[in-house]
């Protein structure tokens, strides 16, 4: 039986069939069992704080005060965000000596104000700079269905926390797929909103141009409930009518080199949607093939990461994951002119996307080109970097275009990317909800 959704758990709490304390105790027991069997989803668990919040949520409910659908529900937080009284390490040893945060990051504060029970900090790729989720310092989370395969990154621990029923939903970030990749690999739904809809103050940045924050959860409705709290916006996210929708599909770039299983799952999904009345509209977007050249010097991510990390690398560089440090240092080689050119090329690509996708209800693509890789396939640097680039390729297109996207599970370890352009968050959630309902 599938794990209950936010709506189902909220209904159980409202009916008195369970309590927040009971749900939190169950979550903490699962976290403990996960850790005792070698699991590495969490870096830090705040059991006392979580139980205190759960008791407060139950007392508030008894008094008729229910702040949101998240009230009393256990939520995990990526180690990128400040939580009052806790050290934000961003998955690194380089920040071990940092002082505890004096205040919650705004996204965390919004979850707390909504009555969510914050369980603890989840593991991640160091400084969020990888789509694979490897962490040499704190361990590498694995998929729930195969312990030899990686959970994906960078929100690796957050995905595992939800997939293994340790949390109802997770707060993550997405710079080039860091919500959608682990969601796809772990059989979850993930939502990357338009950047800047969810505040990123109080979170360690990777790329200020590309970073966004959002949820990993069990369903589109769960992601919408999380987004309403995180963004402070109430969108109309009710599933739309699937029949007659126009789903654009390009074979350029995002369908290059797909795993056979991914290609088959994608084609099967398109066929099912077509059978249910959707229109699959082929289109060309050959300019996407220029992205490797445009980002050949490390792109916006390396340039902006270098600006933040340069002093810390000088002082603590030996404590970094050297694969991460190597990628960040590429930003040192970029000139101001290179950076300005990158911004101009991004604007031009966004303009072209707007023209090509003007009449689309959504742009569909495989979330990730491959199934979750085996950990033992990533021992050599050349294999790690090649697979990291391939895993990041499809989802990072949407970050470069400043768009929004949902990933839906369509096969074990395989996701369908439901994508749209800047500011179309409500529509992409409506469409993803329609697709989700049609695939059940």
Q: How far apart are CA 123 and CA 156, in angstroms?
A: 6
Q: How far apart are CA 97 and CA 431, in angstroms?
A: 45
Per-residue DSSP letter, 350: H
Q: How far apart are CA 308 and CA 91, in angstroms?
A: 16
Classified as helix, coil or strand, 74 is: strand
* 178 in active site: yes
Pairing of strands 362-366, 246-249: parallel
Strands (E), 11-112: 42-45, 74-78
* 78 in active site: yes
Angle between helix 260-275 and 425-439 (nearest 10): 90
125 touches 153 (CB < 8 A): yes
* 154 in active site: yes
40 touches 31 (CB < 8 A): no
Tokens of 309: 């990390």
For 274-301, letters b (16+ CB in 10 Å) and e give eeeebeebeeebebbeebeebbebbbbb
Neighbours of 381 (CB within 10 A): 11
Q: Which of 76, 78, 125, 130 is catalytic?
A: 78
For the four alpha carbons of 291, 293, 294 and 300, in that order, the dihedral sign comes to positive
194 touches 403 (CB < 8 A): yes
Query: Max CA-CA distance within the chain?
Result: 61
Q: Which of 125, 154, 207, 396 is catalytic?
A: 154
160 touches 141 (CB < 8 A): yes
Tokens of 389: 């680039």
Q: List CB contacts of 411: < 8 A, sequence separation 6 or more.
A: 261, 265
CA dihedral 232, 237, 238, 243 (to 10 degrees): 180
Classified as helix, coil or strand, 217 is: strand
Tokens of 49: 């704080």
Q: How far apart are CA 317 and CA 325, in angstroms?
A: 7
Residue 167: which of 30, 53, 52 has the closest Cα?
Answer: 30
Q: Which of 156, 161, 178, 212 is catalytic?
A: 178
Tokens of 358: 């003007």
Q: Which residues are catalytic?
A: 78, 154, 178
């Amino acid at each position: 039986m599938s794990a209950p959704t936010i709506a189902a758990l909220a209904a159980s709490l409202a009916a008195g069939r369970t309590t927040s304390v009971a749900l939190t105790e169950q979550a903490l027991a699962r976290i403990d069992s996960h850790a005792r069997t070698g699991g590495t989803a969490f870096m830090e668990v705040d059991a006392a704080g979580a139980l205190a919040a759960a008791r407060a949520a139950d007392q508030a409910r008894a008094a008729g005060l229910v702040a949101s659908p998240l009230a009393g529900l256990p939520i995990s937080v990526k180690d990128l965000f400040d939580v009052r009284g806790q050290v934000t390490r961003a998955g690194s040893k380089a920040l071990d000596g940092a002082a505890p945060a004096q205040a919650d990051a705004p996204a965390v504060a919004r979850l707390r104000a909504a009555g969510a029970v914050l369980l603890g900090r989840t593991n991640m790729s160091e400084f969020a700079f990888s789509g694979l989720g490897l962490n040499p310092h704190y361990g590498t989370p694995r998929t729930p269905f195969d312990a030899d395969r990686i959970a994906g990154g960078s929100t690796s621990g957050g995905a595992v926390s939800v997939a293994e029923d340790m949390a109802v939903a997770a707060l993550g970030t997405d710079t080039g797929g860091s919500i959608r990749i682990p969601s796809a690999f772990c059989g979850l739904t993930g939502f990357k909103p338009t950047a800047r809809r969810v505040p990123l103050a109080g979170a360690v940045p990777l790329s200020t141009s590309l970073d966004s924050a959002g949820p990993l959860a069990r369903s589109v409705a769960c992601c919408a409930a999380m987004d309403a709290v995180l963004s402070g916006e109430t969108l109309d996210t009710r599933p739309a009518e699937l029949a007659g929708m126009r789903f654009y599909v390009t074979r350029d770039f995002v369908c290059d080199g797909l795993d056979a299983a991914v290609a088959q799952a994608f084609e099967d999904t398109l066929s099912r949607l077509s059978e249910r009345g959707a229109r699959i509209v082929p289109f060309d977007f050959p300019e996407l093939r220029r992205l490797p050249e445009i980002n050949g010097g490390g792109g916006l991510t390396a340039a902006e990461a270098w600006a933040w990390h340069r002093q810390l690398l000088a002082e603590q560089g030996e404590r970094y994951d050297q694969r991460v440090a190597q990628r960040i240092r590429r930003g040192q080689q970029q000139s101001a002119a290179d950076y300005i050119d990158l911004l101009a090329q991004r604007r031009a690509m966004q303009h072209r996307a707007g023209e090509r996708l003007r009449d689309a209800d959504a742009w569909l693509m495989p979330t990730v080109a491959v199934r979750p890789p085996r950990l033992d396939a990533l021992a050599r640097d050349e294999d790690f970097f090649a697979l990291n680039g391939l895993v990041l390729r499809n989802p990072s297109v949407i970050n470069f275009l400043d768009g929004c996207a949902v990933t839906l599970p369509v096969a074990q370890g395989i996701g369908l990317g439901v994508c749209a352009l800047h500011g179309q968050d409500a529509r992409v959630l409506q469409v993803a909800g329609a697709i989700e309902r049609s695939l059940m």
